[in-house]
Chains A and B, each alone.
Chain A
Amino acid sequence: MSRIPDFKEPDDVRARLEETGYLVDDGLAVACFLALRLHRPLFCEGDAGVGKTALATALAEALGAPLIRLQCHEGIDASQALYDWDFPRQLLHLRAAEAAGAVDADRLEGELYDRRFLIARPLLRALETCPSVLLIDEIDRADDEFEAFLLELLSEYSVTVPELGTVRARVPPVVVLTSNRTREVHDALKRRCLYHWFEHPGFDRELAIVRRRLPGVSARLAEQVTALVQTLRSADLLKPPGVAETIDWAEALDALGASEVDTQRALATLGSVLKYREDAERARDLLAARRDP
């Protein structure tokens, strides 16, 4: 099984991530480096669409490790996140044993709670797969009880199944947690983690990201779309567009055959960047002003 490469410098991590098409700034490079070196989970916060989830995907690709994703939601519990017994298969096994005339009850019971009847959910799968990248997405949507449960798991990197025993990760998985800040995640959990706040990228980096993700789009279009989105972001909108929206917009304009932004096509595709009517109205004014001599 492959091992996680040993990085000497944050810049090595950055170079490796850039090979996968994910461009990082200084802070994020250091964050990833420390997460790998200190075996600490990386807690990512920031507006939607700034690349928190994409970081985990890129890390997995850069490390050559599988990405295991746990999407949190309200009411998520251990049987959805950790493991569950495969009841139908256990029953089948029982019936088969009965039909074959098995009599040893103890042995039969032992067989019923065998590893092969255990369904590994994302967290257990991450402990059993090494190396692996575990993405715990939108932790703020889960309940507080689930946080406490995660805390235990992330400090020991092991889990106990009563019928089977303890499963311990040989190499702790690389853990990325993301939060949209719909509520404050408990301090006890954050204390275990490195905290990184994702800012919207500056013009140069955003342009580089767009060019990298959409190599077919003309340089001029990419430049103009990026500049427009940067303006929109400072225009006090209900939902400032993220990088994901910039890419969507450039892609949409490109699909319409545009090689540069013209007001008509920009207005027609505004829906790929702005998702509120009020925001769209503001943007229309801005776009109109832009074309005025």
Chain B
Amino acid sequence: MITVTGTEPADAALLAFAHALRTAGVDASPERVHAFLRAVAELGPARVYWAGRLTLCANHDDLERYDQVFAACFAGAGPATPPAGLPPPRPRLTVPESTAGRPARAGAEPALPPAAALASSADVLRHRDIAGLDAAERAALHRLLTAFALPGRTRRTARRRPARRGRVDPRRSVRELLRRGGEPARLGHHERAERPRRVVLLVDVSGSMAPYADALLRFAHAAARGTRTEVFTVATRLTRVTRALSHRDPDRAMAALATAVPDWRGGTRLGELLREFLDRWGQRGTARGAVVVVLSDGWERGDPELLADQMRRLHRLAHRVIWANPLKARPGYAPLAAGMAAALPSVDAFVEGHSLAALERLAAVVKGADDA
């Protein structure tokens, strides 16, 4: 515990507080700490709480942690104890400063055939169910997965860009004209620019999806390289993992992900989590006009009615809702799981997700191919 004595808290105490915040997962960078010290100098010790909250926090999630660390460091100095009823702090992703270098991946694939045979084995692998692969095949699969891209279907934007034909671009034409001293020379043209829609992936990492979760997340990692893809995991809680997946190296991204996701292999509360997603992210804009892909087997522990409601809500917001279910490929599969049956009326495309080929198909559907 840090005790504040005298009229002004010593800088050392403030720095210790900043350090404690960093440990708790708040990104209190030196630049922010500098601003913090200046703010305390301006405000005096009575307002350390607000000085720190305004300068050291960067988003809403930080505020919970800030309140807790503040309470621990400056007991009694704050304006009030943090509001009751807050959920426990979520472990925040920190980049491991790995000194050992990246894990040697080569060791995991001892029995791999030589390169010449790779094409054919890859072809076989494409159609195999991911759940039935052995370690070597999995490693090969992971390599193939890195080649994925997942651009959304394109849409026209308000922006125009120079083109060879199309409507006359007055701005460019006049600029050209001025450059030539007022002589009308050549007309510039422009047309509407097109952009891929945002893609949102909701990956089910609950126990029943365990055989597929790792491969699907690697798929998500490859897909998230585009700037307009957001990835969330769902099991017993909703976690935004877009940041964790921003590591270029898939293995490091997976390691970061493992620390970021607290509910690996828990049960599934799809309806409730979908509602949380829509409240916190979707309705504000993340799902608006986006291609939303749910990767799940549709086993719902909660009330299927809630899931049906939230799926309808999602369907109204999103451009397209795609559900990829690895179980769909199994012989005799019918969407009987209560959650799946409740969700299907609000799904635009229901596809498989059990193999590489199925994921390729999914990517095509996301890009705008006709329904499977």
Contacts and interface: CB of A to CB of B under 8 A. Distances in A.
A140 B43 contact: no
B112 to A, nearest CB: 39
A10 B43 contact: yes
A74 B288 CA distance: 13
B43 A33 contact: yes
Contacts of B331: none
Given A140-B285, A144-B227, A181 B51 contact: no
Contacts of B58: 187, 190-191, 195
B27 interface: yes
A98 B54 contact: no
Interface stretch (A53-61, A89-97, A224-232): A89-97
Interface in A35-89: 37-38, 40, 45, 73-75, 77, 79, 85, 87-88
A194 interface: yes
Contacts of B47: 10, 30
B284 A34 contact: no
Contacts of A195: 53-55, 57-59
B79 interface: yes
A182 B193 CA distance: 22
B225 interface: no
Interface of A: 10, 26-27, 30-31, 33-34, 37-38, 40, 45, 73-75, 77, 79, 85, 87-88, 90-91, 94-95, 98, 105, 112, 140-141, 144, 180-184, 187, 190-191, 194-197, 238-239
Nearest to A88: B174
B285 A184 contact: no
Interface of B: 27, 29, 31-32, 35, 38-39, 42-43, 47, 50-51, 53-55, 57-60, 63, 79, 157-159, 170-171, 174-175, 177-178, 181-182, 193, 227, 279, 283-286, 288, 313
Contacts of B27: 187
A238 B171 contact: no
A6 B1 CA distance: 37
A74 B157 contact: yes
Contact of B35 (A33, A38, A95, A239): A38
Contact of B182 (A40, A88, A95, A184): A95
What's the dominant secondary structure at chain A's contact region? helix
19 contacts: A26-B50, A33-B43, A34-B54, A34-B55, A38-B38, A45-B59, A45-B60, A75-B158, A87-B174, A87-B175, A88-B174, A180-B285, A181-B60, A183-B285, A191-B32, A195-B57, A195-B58, A238-B283, A238-B313
A27 B279 CA distance: 26
B99 to A, nearest CB: 25
Contacts of A33: 42-43
A181 B29 contact: no
Nearest to B313: A238
A215 B53 CA distance: 34
B39 A38 contact: yes
A74 B156 CA distance: 12
Contacts, number: 98
Nearest to B198: A183
Contacts of A194: 35, 54-55
What's the dominant secondary structure at chain B's contact region? helix
Contacts of B59: 45, 184, 190, 195
A239 B39 contact: no
Given A73-B158, A87-B178, A181-B60, A34 B279 contact: no
A182 B284 contact: yes
A94 B178 contact: yes
A38 B79 CA distance: 23
B181 A34 contact: no
Contacts of A90: 178
A112 B181 CA distance: 10
B32 to A, nearest CB: 6
A27 B50 contact: yes
A42 B63 CA distance: 16
Given A34-B42, A91-B174, A195-B54, A239 B182 contact: no
A183 B284 CA distance: 8
B182 A74 contact: no
A140 B284 CA distance: 10
A30 B181 contact: no
A30 B158 contact: no
B182 A98 contact: yes
B37 to A, nearest CB: 11
Contacts of A77: 159
Nearest to A48: B284
A30 B178 contact: no
Given A37-B42, A38-B42, A87-B178, A30 B54 contact: yes
Given A90-B178, A191-B32, A75 B157 contact: yes
Q: 4 smallest A-B Cβ distances: which pairs?
A: A182-B285, A75-B159, A30-B50, A87-B174
Contacts of A37: 42
A34 B29 CA distance: 19
A197 B39 CA distance: 17
A184 B32 CA distance: 18
Nearest to B47: A30
